[in-house]
Amino acid sequence: MAFAYFLVFPLIFKFFAAATPAGVEMMTDITSYLDFVMTLFFAFGVAFEIPVAVVLLVWIGVVNVAYLRKIRPYVIIGCFVVGMILTPPDIFSQTLLAVPMWLLFEIGVLFGGLISKRGEHPDDAPADDHNDQPPATQA
């Protein structure tokens, strides 16, 4: 949320102020302002949970890193679509949401790869010393 408040809001407000025609005063009411702020806080709050979600999905085995790398182009398009829906109708705020979402997805894939590689070590596998079945005999 600090990213949204300290980086995104000033840029968006500068854009809105610059887009205001000459001779027209920009006046916002508290309801519109709070709706705008809460929507952006929600959007950026959800966006910054992406690495956690990706790592958890890899960790519990729902997806693997190879699949996440395969769907990367669709994720990038999806980030821009989500940015389009959740932000005001200007390209700056859409990009300011979509690019961090994409980078956070990549960070999640990176950490997911580290987790999946760590789980592949043979030392991590439990030893199967207590086999209930007798050894097979050759006939």
* pTM confidence score: 0.67
Q: Give domain limits for the chain.
A: 32-115
Average pLDDT over residues 94-101: 90
Q: What is the DSSP string of the chain?
A: -HHIIIIIHHHHHHHHHHHSPTT------HHHHHHHHHHHHHHHHHHTTHHHHHHHHHHTTSS-HHHHHHTHHHHHHHHHHHHHHHS-SSHHHHHHHHHHHHHHHHHHHHHHHHHHHHHT-GGGSPP----SSPPPPP-
Average pLDDT over residues 106-120: 85
Output the pLDDT for position 107: 94
Statement: residue 123 has pLDDT above 70: no
Q: Which of 40-44, 107-111, 130-134 has the highest mean pLDDT?
A: 107-111
- How high does pLDDT run on average in the chain? 82
